[in-house]
Amino acid sequence: MIDIQDRIRNKTLLDRIVTAEEAAAIIKPNMNVGTSGFTPAGYPKAVPMALAERISKEHFQINLWTGASVGQELDGSLAAVNGIARRMPYQTNGDLRKSLNSGKVNYFDLHLSESAQLTRYGFFGGKVDVAIVEACAITEEGHLIPTTSMGNTASYVQSADIVIVEINTSQPLALEGMHDVYVPLDPPHRQPIPIVKVDDRIGTPYIPCGLDKIKYIVPCDIPDDVRDFAPIDDNSKTMSELAIEFFKHEIKAGRLPKDLLPLQSGVGSVANAVISGFVDSDFKNLEVYTEVIQDGMLDLADAGKLKFASGTSFSPSPDGQKRLYANIDKYRSKMMLRPQEIANSPEIARRIGIIAMNTAIEFDIYGHVNSTHIMGSKMMNGIGGSGDFARNAYLTLFFSTSVAKGGLISSVVPMCSHIDHTEHDVDVFITERGLADVRGLSPRERARVIIEKCAHPDYQPMLTDYLDRAEKATKFAHTPHLLDEALSWHARFLQTGTMKK
């Protein structure tokens, strides 16, 4: 057995140490199981794999609630044995994606800031039955020291009758003190969240739990399943440069302060590349209020350009993880993790003036954004936190390459096949072709600017032709569409393999 006794500070808990199989045995069919984890960071590993092995023999399902996506040991192992009946609020696992796009899993894709409170309200068929939580240590009072993410963990622990704690010895104890745990009261008792600056601390450095709730403690030494980012290619570099030049223009116009406002950046390679672009820029004293702290933010800290970063998860590459762990004492003064309902809070985003930067699968000529669905039907990952920030930010930017599949798909279309963010939420669109600032423009004006600045040359004539004919057919209606053609580009791709005529 892994020696975890030094991490359990109340020795009366030592008799609750069991194997992953013993802990998994307490989970019954159709239970609501809430786990730690936000991206492949800070999620339980040993107990979910033991549960998957049990499900493979007994053939039952659970409802799985997390913070966001998690690693292979959780989503992957349970999806492989058809062990998930319902899943929320976000995922990125390939096997799970296949299951939810083939009717095997009922997936509800949520704004991440809302997911914890909606479970507390009982909107999803009862409360959390069992919480499975990864921790660095357990305090003398029975409180939990989180690891590399906060997510919805504190809320799930608060709601659950039974808590299973995985003490992960691969996670450094030096993470202690990097968390600020605060769960808001629910209506009608809720108070304003008292954050006015990125580095404000309002909670505790541990997750309140208590000795009585802890049913089992499971040793684990499996590291987070972190992943490499795609190399920063020319397209990503160009989009980052366009964003930085736009910010400089806004400063000259008096619409942004010289050190900008707090930055929010979505998950993934493009978002990481955009943040990395600030390393070589003239900006300094940058603040970040976001979901995930990725390699680009470590780069900013190492370059002396980061004033402070608040997130809900450390989600670096394998090399970034090594750098984080090796220099954690240095990063401690610059970084903090909060529960996602605080990290993604629309209230805070609007108060401190977030600059929101997220990626799109596609956007249409009138400024609607599809962040989630391929060809309108198949779920990719989920809306994540992009909606939390997009509608409430000081400035909202969406990024996408102008084409996909080697040019067979245009990312700028007459009408999105699915809409996650409306025209009312977005200020700026950026592709490698250019930047479209659509603030203050009518739909027809937006369309001209988006086509000119963002669409690929192969598709610009087709988009302009559609717009011209739609204006004529509708006698220049407010948002002119040809309804029998609006989704024809997607239909043509599904039929012929290309959006081109």
Q: Over 80: is that where the pLDDT of 171 sits? A: yes
Give the end of a domain, one of 459, 474, 494.
459
Q: Kind of pairing, strands 214-220 and 162-168?
A: parallel
For all residues of the chain together, what is the average pLDDT?
96
Q: What mean pLDDT do residues 430-450 have? A: 98
Name which of 351, 408, 326, 342 is nearest 375 in CA terms: 408
Would you say 269 is a known binding-site residue? yes
Indicate the pLDDT class of residue 276, thresholds 50, 70 and 90. confident
In the residue annotation, 140 being an active-site residue is answered as no
What's the average model confidence in pLDDT over 362-388? 97
Position 3 pLDDT exceeds 90: no
In the predicted model, is pLDDT for residue 94 greater than 90? yes
pLDDT of residue 228: 87
490 lies in a domain? no
Asked if residue 477 is part of any domain, the answer here is no
pTM of the full structure: 0.95
Q: pLDDT, tens digit, for every residue of 187-214? A: 999 999 999 999 999 999 999 999 999 9
Kindly state whether residues 239 and 211 are assigned to the same domain. no
Percent of the chain residues past pLDDT 90, beyond the cut: 94
Q: How many domains is the chain partitioned into structurally?
A: 2
Residue 473 lies in a domain: no
Query: What pLDDT, on a 0 to 100 scale, did the predictor assign at position 152?
Result: 98
Name the pLDDT band for 125 (thresholds 50, 70, 90). Answer: confident
73, 250, 287, 291: which one is catalytic?
Answer: 291
Inside any domain, residue 483: no
pLDDT at 269: 72
Query: How far is it between the farthest Cα atoms of the chain?
Result: 78
pLDDT of residue 277: 86
* Pair 238, 216 in one domain: no
Are residues 86 and 160 located together in one domain of the fold? yes
Residue 312 lies in a domain: yes
Residue 92 lies in a domain: yes
The CA distance from 479 to 487, in Å, is 15
Q: Tell me, what's the pLDDT at 231?
A: 83
Distances (CA, A) of 356 to 28, 188, 243, 348: 41, 30, 11, 13
Q: What is the pLDDT of residues 312-322, one digit of tens each?
A: 999 999 999 99
Over range 329-338, report the average pLDDT: 96
Please indicate, yes or no, whether residues 428 and 400 belong to a single structural domain of this protein: yes
Instruction: Point out the domain boundary residue: 186, 220, 254.
Output: 220
- Which residues, at least 6 apart from 337, have a Cβ–Cβ distance to it below 8 Å? 146, 148, 149, 150, 178, 179, 180, 293, 310, 311, 312, 313, 314, 343
- Verify that 216 and 272 share a domain, yes or no: no
Say yes or no to pLDDT of 1 above 50: no
Classify residue 228: in a domain, yes or no. Answer: no
> What integer is the mean pLDDT of 21-43?
97
* Domain region containing 312: 234-459
Lowest mean pLDDT among 98-107, 113-122, 268-277, 361-370: 268-277
pLDDT exceeds 90 at position 232: no
pLDDT value, residue 2: 53
